[in-house]
Structure 1
Amino acid sequence: MKKTTIGMVCCLLMAQCTPRQQPEGNDNTQKPKQPNIVFILADDLGFADLSFTGSDLYRTPNIDQLARESMYFTHAHSSHATCQPSRISLITGKTPTRLKAVSHGSLGGVTGPGIEMPAEEVTIGNALQEGGYTTAHIGKWHIGTGDNGPRNRGFDVDIASNDFCCPGSYFYPFKSDTHKNEKDTKAAVPDLEAYSSGEHLTEALSTEAAKFISQQKDSKKPFFLNLWYYAVHTPLQAKEEKVKKYRDLITPEHKHRNATYAALIEHFDEGVGRVLKALDNNNLTENTIVIFMSDNGGALYSNITKNYPLRGGKGMFYEGGTRVPMFVRWPGVVEPGTVSNERVAGWDIYPTLLSITGVKGDANHNKNLDGVDLSPVFKNANAKLPDRSFNWLKFLSLIHYGNTTERTWPGGCIIKDDWKLIEYFNMPNAPNRHHFRLFNLKEDPSEENDLAQSEPEKVEELKQTMYQWRKDVDAPEFDMEKLYGQVSQ
């Protein structure tokens, strides 16, 4: 699908919106004044990984329906191009750079700053818990272990959060068969021992989410469900009948061609459908806000997916690395089938949730929130947010790619108005050296034309703005050898 048609597809799908049928309920049922919140976060789901956003293979009818009932944000960005810093930002409302969360993981000899969420941060779970909400985290955490787990960071309920980035297996008992090392132990997903052979992790998480929702039906307290799926991160595993279905569908003309990944997305879509059905069945839909997004762009390694028409993917500063699907459904407030073209980012979620719930949060923490309240846009798709720049900083991430590809190069990025400037840092033992790349995203959304040489004044303008931002948030200095030593190829 060409870049000029994705918006048309979205509009056509929204125009065909058929509202979800609501079960009959007792009109006299007393509802809490504050809305319930379900925040659904996908892992590594790319911009074009839904049939709604342009996939020519993946089938996502439940998420497509959610999108039609929601406001779709065409220019939503993750907080970082990799998942750990992105999640730290989501849970704190601050840019990863402010929290020194600019590395990703500690494998491959890389340590560096920002591996876990700082202990002093007040999470959105803490804030809503203090504001009278029952809070639950289900699924992937990946931003702290031990005392830094969900139970100690603002969540009354913690189900299936392991100590690693991904599950040992998507099939019961949801752990590796090998148990060779510490990684295998950390990857085992806990709390799901009651399930049985053949069950898929995504199904189990959705079942647990539906149980939690059902338990809130008669509660006088509002609830916040932080549902962070492991899907569609590796290991790519899905039930064989689903894999076979997509394998039979793929032709040489398909852009998306990974049958197992397509099947894993279908598991994910079915899971989201079960969660939405649980809201319907318990007469909770009308007073529940559902926010859906991904933690970063789709992964390109091993031909997992493609983020067309965007350039690049997970780990990269190009749009494919940070542009993600994002929908917000809020019955009675958000007009179904509306679209906002405002640029937003993951760090906006925290202040938005404070605003829409009326929860004050922690005053000291809130002084350094980097996001803005998106609720004016929820109420009016034509509303404009304050002018601002968007900045990212990323150090080395050997954990994904090795150190010779652009996907892992360290650097920084700024988007201001229609312009994006990427700065790549020096990195020993890799072919790149310090340089800049400049793109006009309005005229060149696929970032095919580097204007750094022809627009030196714009490069200088954006560079100074970016450098000032790093100073303002006390960004860590990048020194490859000092931070990591000589990393060999």
Structure 2
Amino acid sequence: MIKSILKFVFGLCLLSNASAQNDKPNILLINVDDLGWSDVGYHGNEIYHTPNIDQLAKESISFINGYAGAANCAPSRACLITGQTTTRHGISTVGSSNRGAPFTRKLNGIPTKTKLKAEALTMGSILKEHGYQTAMFGKWHVSDDARDMGFDYTIAGGHKGQPKSYFSPYKMFNIEDKEEGEFLTDRLTNEAIHYLSDVKNKEQPFFLYLPFFAIHTPFIGKPELIEKYRGKKFSDGHKANPVYAALVENTDWNVGRLLTALDQLGLTEDTIIIFTSDNGGIYTYSHQLPLRAGKGSYYEGGIKVPTLFKWKGHWKAGVEVDTRVTHLDYLPTLLDLINVETPDNYPLDGQSIKPLIEGKKKFDHDREIVFHFPIYLQAYTKGGDDARDPLFRTRPGSVIIKGNWKLHYYYEDQGMELYNLDKDISERNNLVEKYPKKAKAMYKLLHKWLIERDGKVPTEVNSEYDAVREREEIEKHI
């Protein structure tokens, strides 16, 4: 009798848990590679054709000051998927932390990891633990296999950061080559739509992470789209790169296909949709004006990204929020939205932006946002990246943003740059000399943050450094 009662009670618990899981929203996270803040129509781009992303913006809460977790691929993706900053997960760049000619590097950068620890928690593993079916189609880039880090179903999902070609045969990890000439972004979208069709009739909520390889190199686009953009110029006079533009438009078309499929399957109202990019666009190919510089730089053009949150019927549509948010906020936000506690002894470096989304509660609009990059990242085009010097997109340094103030600090020469982003979004007017007390106060906050998060600072001198040769090389490209 007692066993029967216990069995009945246990059954009720299971039903209760299942019911709770069924009440949770589905989650679709679209992460485009290298799509800059200035590359979309709803942020003022008049050349690239992005009608589907622009329509999504009209239906979403748009964070116009949305930031990536870092300025290039792997560290940004690690920040997004773990909710932790680079000093915790250890991935601070792609490949070596000492890129660029040795004689131009005064210090040795802090060594970087290239993969997450095997025991690392991810958005996939945490959501799976709380009843979600998890899927990942596209560019993973932070371990050898996304299936080992919380994802039930994957297409691609390996460590490689770019395809050899966008046209099949791809010859990539965990993606079967089909008909020759198939386009990779189209294929990933096809797989995502097929997955959505398959889960439609299942009671388990899903988390679908769709990180496209586009707009990353190699720049290979569909010929008819390339021809469409040939010779076009932006308002500032620089020519649009027709292949880059073709990749942007094709990606937008696939976003539209995916959102249409959600509607047709009756899943839209049950699905939180998040759209973003992993970092800024490549300045050499797509100027991020009015922002300065691009991918790999910690000026605004390298770290500001499109940021859209939509949940039809639950959140207001067409709302713009100017509070600064980052990829580090996504995981705590999702956990808050589905009423799940942060895992024990797992520090998250962002905070839930649910109050901003719902417009109901107070939020710390003046919190510090910090980027730590103790590494070297060489220029795409010497003298052509709109960075601090012509040889590097990034030299070792850190950035702290608090309110509208932003401080850059560089470890080679202890140089500082202070900007008021409200008045100088292009970061052209260095205010260090005008506001030395503000610069000093910002630096103290940065120093405190680095101590709290074990941010290692490069101090080791590079024996191959040659100041004379470096100056000669700089002068060639000024």
Q: TM-score, normalised by structure 1?
A: 0.83
Q: Gapped runs of 5+ residues in structure 2?
A: 1-19, 100-108, 383-388, 471-478
Alignment partner, residue 410 of structure 1: 396
Aligned equivalents of 1:480, 1:282: Cα separation in 2: 57
Query: Alpha carbons of 1:251 and 1:90: their partners in 2 closer, same or farther (altered >3 Å)?
Result: closer
Match of 2:328 in 1: 347
> What is the Cα deviation at residue 31 of structure 1?
10
Corresponding residue of 1:328: 309
Q: Matched residues in 1 for 2:377 and 2:365: separation?
A: 36
Could you tell me how far apart the structure 2 residues matched to 1:267 and 1:205 are?
12
| Structure 2 Cα separation of the partners of residues 215 and 141 of structure 1 | 22
1:97 Cα deviation after fit: 2.1
Distance 2:124 2:215 in 1: 24
Amino acid at match of 1:80: A
1:374 aligns with 2:353: yes
Over residues 202-252 of structure 1, what are the superposed CA-to-partner deviations in whole Å (9 max), with x where a residue is unaligned? 000110111111111001100000110111111111110110011154478
- Specify the code of the residue in structure 1 equivalent to 2:424: D
Residue 451 of structure 1 aligns to a residue whose secondary structure is coil
Aligned amino acid, residue 191 of structure 1 = I
Aligned equivalent of 2:166, options 139, 162, 170: 170
User: What is the aligned counterpart of 2:88 among 82, 95, 98?
Assistant: 98
Once the 2 structures are TM-superposed, how far is the Cα of residue 107 of structure 1 from its aligned partner? 8.4
**Percent of paired sites with the same residue:** 38
CA contact under 8 A between 1:100 and 1:475: conserved in structure 2? Answer: no
Is the CA contact 2:146–2:154 (under 8 Å) kept in the aligned structure 1? yes
Cross-structure match for 2:50: 60
User: Higher Cα Rg: structure 1 or 2?
Assistant: 2
Question: What displacement does 1:281 show?
Answer: 1.4
Deviations 1:145-169 (A, max 9, x none): 2xxx210100001111233211111
Question: 2:120, 2:448 → 1: CA distance?
Answer: 24
Aligned twin of 2:156: 160
Cα deviation 1:278-304 (Å, max 9, x = unaligned): 11111101100000011111112xx31
Whether the aligned pair in 1 keeps the contact of 2:272 and 2:311 (CA below 8 Å) is yes
Does 2:216 correspond to 1:233? yes
Amino acid at match of 1:321: G
Q: Which residue of 1 aligns with 2:296?
A: 315
Change (3 A) 1:481 1:169: farther
* Residue 190 in structure 1 maps to residue 190 in structure 2: no
Name the TM-score, length of structure 2 as normaliser. 0.85
Answer whether contact 2:32 2:212 (CA < 8 A) is retained: yes
CA RMSD of aligned residues (A): 2.3
Distance (Å, rounded) in 2 between the aligned partners of 1:133 and 1:190: 22
Note the residue ranges of structure 1 that are not aligned, 5 or more in a row: 1-29, 176-187, 427-432
CA distance in 1, matches of 2:244, 2:204: 39
Match for residue 32 of structure 1?
22
Q: 1:396 aligns with which of 375, 387, 391?
A: 375
- Asked if the contact 2:168–2:179 (Cα under 8 Å) also holds between the matched residues in 1, the reply is yes
> Which of 206, 209, 212 is residue 192 of structure 2 equivalent to?
209
Mapped to 2, the partners of 1:48 and 1:169 lie a distance apart of 25
Deviation at 1:257, TM superposition (A): 1.0
CA contact (8 A) 1:423 1:434 kept: yes
Residue from 393, 405, 426 that aligns with 1:446: 426
Alignment match of 1:73 (pick from 63, 66, 71): 63
Structure 1 residues 240 and 200: CA distance shift in structure 2, 3 A: same
Asked if residue 288 in structure 1 is aligned to residue 267 in structure 2, the reply is: no
Identify the residue that residue 135 of structure 1 maps to in structure 2.
134
Report if aligned partners of 2:232, 2:239 keep a CA contact under 8 Å in 1: no
Name 1:24's counterpart in structure 2.
none
Could you list the per-position Cα deviations for residues 402-445 of structure 1 after superposition, in whole angstroms to 9, with x for gaps in the alignment? Answer: 8962413121010011111101121xxxxxx3311111111111
Q: What are the Cα deviations for residues 331-362 of structure 1, in whole angstroms up to 9, with x where unaligned?
A: 12211111111110010001011111223352
SS at match of 1:414: strand
**Structure 2 CA distance, aligned partners of 1:107 and 1:311?**
23
Name the amino acid aligned to 2:148: N
The one-letter code sitting in structure 2 at the alignment partner of 1:277 is: T
What is the CA deviation profile of residues 66-94 of structure 1, one whole-angstrom value per residue up to 9, with x for unaligned ones?
11110100111111111111111111111
Q: Distance in 1 between matches of 2:161 and 2:418?
A: 33
- The whole-number CA distance in structure 2 between the counterparts of 1:348 and 1:82 is 18
Shift of residue 389, structure 1, vs aligned partner: 0.3
**Residues 231-240 or 247-256, more deviating:** 247-256
Alpha-carbon contact 1:52-1:64 (below 8 Å) kept: yes
1:168-222 per-residue CA deviation (whole Å, 9 max, x = no partner) reads: 11110124xxxxxxxxxxxx353132x2122111000110111111111001100
Change (3 A) 1:252 1:125: closer
Letter in 2 for 1:161: G
Q: Which moved more, 1:162-171 or 1:468-477?
A: 162-171
Matched residue, 1:113: 112
Tell me, yes or no, if the aligned pair for 1:85 and 1:114 is still in contact at 8 Å.
no
Name the SS of the counterpart of 1:120 in structure 2. coil
User: In the alignment, which residue of structure 1 is the partner of 2:36?
Assistant: 46
CA distance 1:107–1:382, shift in 2 (3 Å): closer
1: CA distance between counterparts of 2:359 and 2:426? 29
Give distance in 2, aligned partners of 1:344 and 1:80: 13
Count of matched residue positions in the alignment of Structure 1 and Structure 2: 432
Letter of the structure 2 residue corresponding to residue 396 of structure 1: I
8 Å CA contact 1:210–1:275 kept in 2: the answer is yes
Contact 2:75–2:91, Cα closer than 8 Å, also in 1: yes
